[in-house]
Amino acid sequence: MWKLSYLIPILLGSLLGMVLWQQYEPMQEDKTLYTGENLTLEPISYIPKNIYLNARKVQLGNILFHDPRLSHDNTIACASCHGLQEGGVDGTPTSTGINGLVGPINAPTVFNSGFNFRQFWDGRAKDLEEQAAGPIHNPIEMGSNWREVIVKLEQDSDYIEQFSLLYLDGLTSHNIQDAIATFERSLYTPNSRFDLYLRGDKTALTQQEILGYQRFKAYGCISCHQGMNIGGNMFQHFGVMGNYFEDRGNITQVDLGRYNATGDPADKFLFKVPSLRNIALTSPYFHDGSAKTLEDAVKVMGRYQLGRMLSDEDVELLVAFLNTLTGEYNGQPL
């Protein structure tokens, strides 16, 4: 029957459809492993000129960072101890919290903290989000808690608007942490003179500073202070070549370092190696703020960490090098 001949294209079409139906073709996988890309590099790398972040979150985080309502008595903001004009620190050996309570430990700089592998001297926070909650809850720092903070912030319609604009669930503790951490990640300081040198501008450093960098490498400082942040990517015992704490005396709880976070006796006196970026601006030095000047700090490091007798010339050259590490924030020198 010729009338049924139109069934033939239907059958053929269905057959073709079935054949083409969900044929699995594996994607072409790029199976090349990266090899040897960092073998020839300097142990220190420069900070990128641009890091792309959500600008609105940065702005919101900036406001929160400077907002004293995050503390119990509305006196302390994050910026109180991490002044952006003071190199991200407060310039005192240990910081003062609410009600004039004095903390046990030196405030580390907030600049470039996004490059640190963990946060706090003892590395107890794995990232900036986790870190942001720390001081807010610390009774001698900001002495508050999330419920209190959120109740206070909710009275500000600007916050409500900003948060609901940026986050689906609006004003929550998680989102406050996120905004602050995003802001802190924007606190990177590129274009230090040393970075310019690393980028290839050999005239950026003086002869003396280049010598200082060479000693920095030759004397083993580089063993711990390496990477983009010149530190901040490992733990090290304080007092490898000598008992620093015995010599200093008056051992406190915070001197136990990472032990406070892990409880492992092997972790006693173990600290996160701090970044040396902008180091000229962040005196006093060490977790106890015991070194007032860079020279002091270099000498202590040389003695207790390196087991070296550093000559005055060595110290001078090393300090000269350290002074080249001060970068720019938002295009302005710190």
Partner 1 sequence: MRHPQWFTIIMSIVAIGILIFLITKSRSIDFVEHERYQSAIFQHLAKDAMINRDILHSRYELVTSYDPLVLYISELQQIQVELNKIPSFIPSNGQEKLQDILAIREKELIEKGLTLEMFKSRNAILKNSLRYLPVLGEEEVWGWYQSVSTRSPSILMNALLHNLLLYNLTADELLAPNVHEIMDELIQFRDKDAQVEDEKLITLALAHAKNILRHKPDVDSLTEQLMPVIANAHATQLERIYHYYAQQAIRIAAIYRLAAYLWSLMLVIWAGYFFMIYLQRMNQRTQTILESIKDAFVAIDLQGQVSYINPQAGHLLGIQHHAEQTQHYTKLFSEPLKSKIQHLEQNALKNINEAKHVIFDLEDYYPVLDKWLEIRAYPSQEGLSIFFHDISGRKEAELQLKNLNEELEYRVQRRTKQLSESNKQLEAATIELEQHAAALAEAKDIAESANRAKSQFMANMSHELRTPLNAVIGYSEMLAEEAEDLGAEYFICDLQKIQHSGKHLLSMVNDVLDISKIEMGNLTLYVQNVELKPFLDEIIDTLRPMLNKSQNHLYTYYSEEIQTMATDATRLRQILLNILSNAVKFTQGGEIRLEIRHCQQLELGVTTNLVHIKVSDTGIGITPEQQQHLFKWFSQVDNSYTRSYDGAGLGLVISKNIVELMQGYIRLESALGQGTVVHIYLPQNLSYCEQ
Task: Kindly tell me which of 140 and 240 has the beta carbon lying closer to partner 1.
Answer: 240
The residue assigned the tokens 């720092």 is: 141
Rounded CA gap, 61 and 71, in Å? 16
| Strand (E) or helix (H) holding 221 | helix 221-224
Task: Kindly tell me which of 240 and 280 has the beta carbon lying closer to partner 1.
Answer: 240
- Binding to partner 1 (CB under 8 A): which residues in 93-122? 117
Q: How many residues bind partner 1 (CB under 8 A)?
A: 49
Task: Give the residue, chosen from 111, 219, 245, 286, that forms a contact with partner 1 under the rule CB under 8 A.
Answer: 219
CB 273 within 8 A of CB 227: no
Q: Does 270 bind partner 1 (CB under 8 A)?
A: yes
The distance of closest approach from Cβ of residue 269 to partner 1 in the complex, given in angstroms and rounded to an integer, is 11
The distance of closest approach from Cβ of residue 211 to partner 1 in the complex, given in angstroms and rounded to an integer, is 16
CB 123 within 8 A of CB 110: no
Q: Does 167 bind partner 1 (CB under 8 A)?
A: no
Q: Helices 146-154 and 128-137 meet at what angle, rounded to 10? A: 90
Please give the positions annotated as active site.
141
End-to-end CA distance of the chain: 92
CB 129 within 8 A of CB 181: yes
Rounded CA gap, 61 and 259, in Å? 32
300: its two tokens: 């202590």
Q: Does 20 bind partner 1 (CB under 8 A)?
A: no
Q: Does 52 bind partner 1 (CB under 8 A)?
A: no
Task: Give the residue, chosen from 113, 119, 233, 283, that forms a contact with partner 1 under the rule CB under 8 A.
Answer: 233
Per-residue mark of binding to partner 1, 282-311 (x: CB under 8 A): -----------------------xxxxx--
Q: What share of the chain is helix, strand, coil (3-state, %, to 5)?
A: 45, 5, 50
Per-residue mark of binding to partner 1, 56-95 (x: CB under 8 A): ----------------------------------------
Q: Does 333 bind partner 1 (CB under 8 A)?
A: no
Task: Kindly tell me which of 39 and 168 has the beta carbon lying closer to partner 1.
Answer: 39
Task: Give the residue, chosen from 2, 41, 312, 330, that forms a contact with partner 1 under the rule CB under 8 A.
Answer: 41
Contacts of residues 152-158 at CB distance under 8 Å and 24 or more positions apart, as own/partner, are 152/69, 152/74, 153/67, 153/69
Q: Does 222 bind partner 1 (CB under 8 A)?
A: yes
Torsion, Cα of 111, 142, 132, 276 (10° steps):
30
CB 321 within 8 A of CB 315: no
Task: Give the residue, chosen from 18, 246, 249, 263, that forms a contact with partner 1 under the rule CB under 8 A.
Answer: 18
The residue assigned the tokens 């907002």 is: 67
- Binding to partner 1 (CB under 8 A): which residues in 239-268? 240-241, 266
Q: Does 33 bind partner 1 (CB under 8 A)?
A: yes
Task: Give the residue, chosen from 9, 26, 263, 331, that forms a contact with partner 1 under the rule CB under 8 A.
Answer: 26
> Which residue type sits at 199?
R
Rounded CA gap, 273 and 286, in Å? 10
Task: Kindly tell me which of 18 and 168 has the beta carbon lying closer to partner 1.
Answer: 18
Q: Does 2 bind partner 1 (CB under 8 A)?
A: no
Strand, coil or helix: what is 102? strand
Contact residues for partner 1, defined by CB under 8 A? 1, 3-4, 7, 10-11, 14-15, 18, 21-22, 24, 26-27, 29, 31, 33-34, 38-39, 41-45, 117, 218-220, 222-224, 226-228, 233-237, 240-241, 266, 270, 305-309
